[in-house]
């Protein structure tokens, strides 16, 4: 598995995609946003390929930081593998783009770049535990909701490509849950981490950011972190039910948590880029508004 750093917003160690060699050419896990296409094409070139060589793209979920350039590979003939609940939004991205626009407003183009529909015949919907064999390599899907209802992790013989269900982890920092709207569900997320642990993984590959050898330790630590977040943020929601009342308390709390685990102040700003606190509090508050209504 070869990591390609997309240098998102010219920041290294923020968004990764993975190139996986098979006897039938390379497979791409995730595409990142189209705004990073020049870095993705450079990464492919370094491995001896162009976009035209990618015939299979496996998406962990359809958020634009993971799937934003999928249409580009489809336009060059690739087949795109995706969770059944994500499929319709790639054929007609109107709702996906509208939902992202609610969060990112005028920043859409700068952050994510162009996003275009993908023809239905180039999309393959993959069920839970389904295996796909490409060039002698078996790739198995694990439906893993919690971060998104349409989230899939992909099991390979080298380890599990986890997208965002295994959290955000930068360098020696803690594993933390990225919680954007609209469908964060912390109880489902914890169940999904158990699904990953049941595979007994040694290695995981995450989008934000990198590969980690101590997979089980990482996944257990994220479970505990989600339990701690759930306790803190649900209480915060009860006392300060509006995001604007709670944002500064949440930001300070996140900073304290990062430092209590890693004690490396420079990590705070790196986490803020890969996993912005203002986005997570909006996703969590939406979750609690449904849960407590």
- Please write down the HEC assignment for all residues of 71-130: HHHHHCCCEEEECHHHHHHHHCCHHHHHHHHHHHHHHHHHHHCCCCCCCHHHEEECCCCC
Return the DSSP state at 147: S
Choose between 55 and 147: whose C-beta lies nearer to Zn ion. Answer: 147
CB 120, min distance to Zn ion, A = 25
CB 164, min distance to Zn ion, A = 4
230 is a contact residue toward Zn ion (CB under 5 A): no
In this structure, the number of other CB atoms found within 10 A of the CB of residue 242 comes to 9
CB 77, min distance to Zn ion, A = 26
Number of chain residues interacting with Zn ion (CB under 5 A)? 2
DSSP helix/strand/coil, 252? helix
Yes or no: say if 165 and 153 are a contact pair by the CB < 8 Å rule: yes
* Structure-token pair, residue 169: 């982890």
CB 62, min distance to Zn ion, A = 11
Each residue 60-99 as x (binds Zn ion by CB under 5 A) or -, in order, gives -----x----------------------------------
What residues between 6 and 65 interact with Zn ion by CB under 5 A? 65
C-alpha separations of 128 from 134, 142, 219, 245 in Å: 18, 5, 20, 40
Yes or no: say if 70 and 80 are a contact pair by the CB < 8 Å rule: yes
Return the DSSP state at 159: E
Candidate residues 5, 30, 164, 230; the one interacting with Zn ion per rule CB under 5 A: 164
* Structure-token pair, residue 261: 């685990």
CB 184, min distance to Zn ion, A = 13
Q: Which stretch binds Zn ion (CB under 5 A): 29-37, 160-168, 250-258, 271-279?
A: 160-168
Q: Which stretch binds Zn ion (CB under 5 A): 86-94, 126-134, 158-166, 285-293?
A: 158-166
Choose between 33 and 134: whose C-beta lies nearer to Zn ion. Answer: 33
Each residue 179-218 as x (binds Zn ion by CB under 5 A) or -, in order, gives ----------------------------------------
> Rule CB under 5 A: which residues touch Zn ion?
65, 164
């Amino acid at each position: 598995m070869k990591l390609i750093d997309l240098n998102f917003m010219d920041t290294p160690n923020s968004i990764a995609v993975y190139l996986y060699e098979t006897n039938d050419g390379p497979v791409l896990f995730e595409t990142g946003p189209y705004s990073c296409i020049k870095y993705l094409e450079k990464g492919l070139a370094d491995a001896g390929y162009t976009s035209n060589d990618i015939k299979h793209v496996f998406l962990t979920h359809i958020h634009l930081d993971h799937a934003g350039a999928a249409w580009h590979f489809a336009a060059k003939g690739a087949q795109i593998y995706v969770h059944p609940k994500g499929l319709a939004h790639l054929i007609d991205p109107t709702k996906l783009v509208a939902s992202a626009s609610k969060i990112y407003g005028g920043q859409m183009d700068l952050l994510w770049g162009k996003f275009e529909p993908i023809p239905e015949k180039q999309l393959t919907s993959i069920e839970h535990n389904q295996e796909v064999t490409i060039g002698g390599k078996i790739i198995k899907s694990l439906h893993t909701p919690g971060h998104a209802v349409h989230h899939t992790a992909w099991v390979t013989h080298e380890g599990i490509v986890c997208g965002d269900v295994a959290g955000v982890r930068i360098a020696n920092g803690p594993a933390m849950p990225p919680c954007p709207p609209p469908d964060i569900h912390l109880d489902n997320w914890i169940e999904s981490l158990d699904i990953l642990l049941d595979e007994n993984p040694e290695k995981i590959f995450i989008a934000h950011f990198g590969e980690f050898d101590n997979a089980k330790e990482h996944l257990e630590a994220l479970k505990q972190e989600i339990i701690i977040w759930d306790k803190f943020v649900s209480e915060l929601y009860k006392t300060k039910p509006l995001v604007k009342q709670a944002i500064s308390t949440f930001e300070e709390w996140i900073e304290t948590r990062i430092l209590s685990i890693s004690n490396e102040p420079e990590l705070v700003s790196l986490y803020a880029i890969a996993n912005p606190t203002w986005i997570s509090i909006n996703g969590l508050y939406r979750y609690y508004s449904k849960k407590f209504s």
